[in-house]
Structure 1
Amino acid sequence: MNQSSAPGEFRILSFLALCFLSTFLFSACSKKDQQQNIILFLVDDMGWQDTSEPFWTDTTEFNKRYHTPNMEKLADQGMKFTNAYASSVCSPTRVSLMSGMNAARHRVTNWTLRRNASNDRPHPTLKLPKWNVNGMQPTDSIENAVHVTPLPQILKNNGYYTIHTGKAHFGAIGTPGADPENLGFDVNIAGHAAGAPGCFLGEKNYSAAWRNGGNAWDVPDLEEYHGTDTYLTEALTLEALDALKNPVEEGQPFFLYMAHYAVHVPIEADKRFIQKYLDMGLDKTEAAYASMIEGMDKSLGDLMKFVEEKDLADNTIILFMSDNGGLSAHARGGEPHTHNRPLASGKGSAYEGGIREPMMVKWPGVTEPSSICDQYVIIEDFFPSILQMAGVKNPETVQHVDGESFVPFLKGKKAARDTTRELIWHYPNRWGGHGPGIGTTSTIRKGYWKLIYWYKDQSKELYNLKNDIGEYHDLSEKNPQKVGELSRALGEYLRSVEAQRPRFKDSGELVPWPDEVEAK
């Protein structure tokens, strides 16, 4: 009897084993093919040196000043980019991020706020162009705006639960683009048209009333923290963590855009962290600034802790970036234009201090821990990169996408893009600050070479960033051939996207393109 039943038992055991193996393989494949959760952590006005994690070959005095242990942890777990770029002011960066377009093409080339109102400061000799002052819009019915298919809308259409927290600054007051929910976010926490908070302090209701500012600057949606000692960065973090509970409980992939108002002005101390910086001997303003940076870093750590505790760390991509260089022209302590050294100048400048940013990406199972990428990338690259990370193929957009995916770099593939790709910055405007590199300019980087064209007098500056990261030595007179080469490339690109340019006030004629004038 035992012998006669053995074949049947064997078949049953084989069947059970096959079922177990099939279940295991299905589970493994499902986990592998599962959409990645994505956290995009964007800091406002954070400079390349505003961290204890070095983004240069040397550890600097600024790296020793600041305390950002969670940035250090993220760098240990992922890839650090040492040549990451944004625009020199905020709105152009944010529109490029959400559209994949270069600023010269989308024409939101300065910061936005009120409908049909330009924030350009008057120029003594130039009439500045009428740029897209109303920002980015999900419709083509808004004047002086760029119509786009926004990144969060595409992610939402592909199954993501999308959360916006913090600074939006996408569209002018009274336009659809001012509300992140019109751009594809399921949830909007504290995002509106303004690009700065009225205040960082809960005791002052995050309002500008204390400085007689208009209510356009008051941070919305955080009334439950009014009258408390909750710093704005902390309030936003708490709200983001609460919003994440819904997709986590439902098992839905999420895209969290954690866009802090910090470390923008007004520079106000986060009392949880300031004392150590005062004890270091920093002046009151710089100590407050350092405390804001540490508060931002705590937020990053809180989000990383959340995904770890929810067992999501292996399936969550974290991207870290800043929207422009660190503020240095005004409102800071110490000597102006020095806060981003060895980089020159700061926010608003065409020099490296205005456009080079701290960037990191952690993609578990893809990025090698503690790896460094020296290839250069620019803010519009985030659009195609994030969509590729999310598994979205060939998305339909109303706009032309200029960005190039940096996913190959995350996978360890080396490319020759550092010598062949051209990065373009276009700022036919006039910012509020004054200082080195701050003005009406167009700029190109190709390889280690960088050319800046000044519309005010049609002069050109040429730098080799490999040998001169601080842009101390203008090589335009010594290397006219390189000036001509980059001028042609810059001019051809600007014409190809129908970029705007100023006119001379005295004649009304358009200022020449960079390749239409000889180097001075």
Structure 2
Amino acid sequence: MKQLLMLFLCINCSTIANAQQKPNIVFILADDLGYGDIGAYGQQKIKTPNLDRLAAQGMRFTSFYSGATVCAPSRSSLLTGLHTGHTYIRGNKEIQPEGQEPLADSVQSYALMLQRAGYATGAFGKWGLGMVGTSGAPDKKGFDTFFGYNCQRQSHRYYPTHLWDNNDKVVLEGNDLNEKKVYAPALIQERTLAFIETNKDRPFFLFIPSVLPHAELQGPEDAWYRMYEHRFSETPHRGNDYGPEALVAGYASVTKPRATFAAMVSRLDVYVGQVLDKLEELGLSDNTIVMFSSDNGPHEEGGADPGFFNSSGGFRGVKRDLYEGGIRVPFVVKWPGKVKAGSETAHPAAFWDLMPTFLEIAGAPPAGITDGISILPTLLGKGRQKEHRYLYWEFHESGGRQAVRAGKWKAVRLQLKNDPDKPLELYDLQEDPGEQQDIAARHPDIVKKMEQYMQQAHVESPLFPLTGGR
């Protein structure tokens, strides 16, 4: 009996040890942060020492793309491993009084798969893929713990009336759209760090979809703000102020929009640094892969000035565009002893590649259906990295838009709801990364191939019709 007990204990200890050997995964997602908004990608006016440190300690991708050019479809692509021609949510479809169109019951997320593989899972920040109690709520899509904004309209305000703690509504006393008392990102950051502490003895997946630096331009007038308060010339922005006429989805006025935006990016940087420091403090850094990116290109709402900061990093376009500035985003990965410090890659990859990458890192079974290709060979510098024939995006607002990248070629189609067969624009990203010279007339063979890719990639959705009858 004693021998059987000892055998059981040894097996049990071995199981625990193997579980603890699985790497923790931390994915930090900024909101509306442009390719050029951090120092590691060329930002000159805003200080981001922690993100720069993250990039220096890991790998920097120079051809990485978000799932879409606005929030909800980009996050749907990220979570489901499907591009916007296939993913369930393809637009910002609002539900009243709170929430967005929910992911369906049938939709599988990588968080569900990591959960089944033994990971503790937590999400802290902005959701936007289904209200509490619906099929798209965080707890239905694989997250043990969620704290933050469920509804992306609510996240327009940095001093919201409430947040959500799993299925419980947390009223923020003093925040009534008249008064600003409780700064929501600070509360969310506290809970983020607490999750790491709580789960330090088991493998965890931590998703941090930060609301920073999305408009509105607001925040405490603290050291981060004072660092920029007198640095730039400013033009005050008039918005929908806190007070009797305030709207949940509005953006408040701001006296110094440039200083405020810069402070918000620096605040995000400090929050990233706190996560890195917490991992170090708990001895988790060596067994944790940390990734950082943004959900789409830089915004122009609320007084933001992406031109002044070169937020698009020299690329054409901003949020809502399918030119590079709207979808090419920063992506850095740190994994001590696995990912070479100070390395860089031009391998073209996108949000839908992260599902197979996460599952391979976790040793979990691969996803049954995905548009993604694991980028683990690129990260580790080992084995052959498979490549996409093409990367595809569609956007259901602004008249309907499509884009496809295949190698150095990039095609964009605009206003296709009025004309589904509207001619493509074609760009050579190798010679013309700023997409200034439309060379479609010179390359009819390439245009034909890109049209074929668009036709292959787009599967019509009854919830989000792209052309209204195509």
TM over 0.5: yes
Q: In the alignment, residue 283 of structure 2 is paired with which amino acid?
A: D
Deviations along 1:483-513, whole A, 9 cap, x unmatched? 112112222332599994314xxxxxx45xx
Q: Give the 3 Å change call, closer, same or farther, for CA 414–468 of structure 1 in structure 2.
A: farther
Match of 1:279 in 2: 230
The answer (yes or no) to whether the contact 2:232–2:258 under 8 Å persists in 1 is no
Deviations along 1:104-138, whole A, 9 cap, x unmatched? 11241111330699x9xxxxxxxxxxxxx72313x
2:161 to 202, 207, 211: 207
Query: Once the 2 structures are TM-superposed, how far is the Cα of residue 288 of structure 1 from its aligned partner?
Result: 0.7
Deviations along 1:313-348, whole A, 9 cap, x unmatched? 111110111111111377324769964241112001
Match of 2:33 in 1: 46
User: Does residue 343 in structure 1 map to residue 315 in structure 2?
Assistant: yes
Query: Once the 2 structures are TM-superposed, how far is the Cα of residue 271 of structure 1 from its aligned partner?
Result: 2.2
Q: In the alignment, residue 243 of structure 1 is paired with which amino acid?
A: F
2:451 to 473, 487, 502: 487
The answer (yes or no) to whether the contact 2:216–2:302 under 8 Å persists in 1 is no
The answer (yes or no) to whether the contact 1:112–1:171 under 8 Å persists in 2 is no
User: Structure 1: how far apart are the matches of 2:466 and 2:97?
Assistant: 19
1:181 to 139, 145, 152: 139
1:94 to 75, 78, 85: 75
Match of 1:467 in 2: 431
Q: In the alignment, residue 38 of structure 1 is paired with which amino acid?
A: I
1:447 to 381, 388, 407: 407
- Which one is further off, 273-282 or 295-304? 273-282
Aligned length: 423
User: Structure 1: how far apart are the matches of 2:204 and 2:334?
Assistant: 16
Q: Give the 3 Å change call, closer, same or farther, for CA 308–99 of structure 1 in structure 2.
A: same
User: Does residue 382 in structure 1 map to residue 354 in structure 2?
Assistant: yes
User: Structure 1: how far apart are the matches of 2:286 and 2:174?
Assistant: 33
Q: In the alignment, residue 409 of structure 1 is paired with which amino acid?
A: T
User: Does residue 76 in structure 1 map to residue 63 in structure 2?
Assistant: no
Larger Rg: 1
Q: Give the 3 Å change call, closer, same or farther, for CA 97–333 of structure 1 in structure 2.
A: closer
Query: Once the 2 structures are TM-superposed, how far is the Cα of residue 302 of structure 1 from its aligned partner?
Result: 0.2
Which SS does the other structure have where 1:65 is aligned? coil
Q: In the alignment, residue 64 of structure 1 is paired with which amino acid?
A: Q
1:36 to 2, 19, 23: 23
Q: In the alignment, residue 411 of structure 2 is paired with which amino acid?
A: L
- Which one is further off, 93-102 or 274-283? 274-283
User: Structure 1: how far apart are the matches of 2:129 and 2:332?
Assistant: 23
Q: Give the 3 Å change call, closer, same or farther, for CA 78–31 of structure 1 in structure 2.
A: farther
Match of 1:358 in 2: 330
User: Whose helix proportion is higher, 1 or 2?
Assistant: 1
User: Structure 2: how far apart are the matches of 1:460 and 1:330?
Assistant: 32
Query: Once the 2 structures are TM-superposed, how far is the Cα of residue 421 of structure 1 from its aligned partner?
Result: 2.2
Q: How does 1:490-505 map to 2 (within 5 A)?
A: 490-494=454-458, 500-503=465-468
1:165 to 124, 136, 139: 124
Match of 1:310 in 2: 282
Deviations along 1:326-377, whole A, 9 cap, x unmatched? 1137732476996424111200101111101111111222100011011010
**Runs of 5+ in structure 2 lacking a partner?**
1-9, 235-255
Which SS does the other structure have where 1:96 is aligned? helix
Identity %: 27
Q: Give the 3 Å change call, closer, same or farther, for CA 196–80 of structure 1 in structure 2.
A: farther
TM-score, reference length from structure 2? 0.82
2:378 to 397, 401, 409: 409
Match of 2:268 in 1: 296
Match of 1:245 in 2: 197
Q: Give the 3 Å change call, closer, same or farther, for CA 483–415 of structure 1 in structure 2.
A: farther
Give the aligned CA root-mean-square deviation in angstroms: 3.1
The answer (yes or no) to whether the contact 1:79–1:373 under 8 Å persists in 2 is yes
The answer (yes or no) to whether the contact 1:114–1:173 under 8 Å persists in 2 is no
User: Structure 1: how far apart are the matches of 2:352 and 2:149?
Assistant: 21
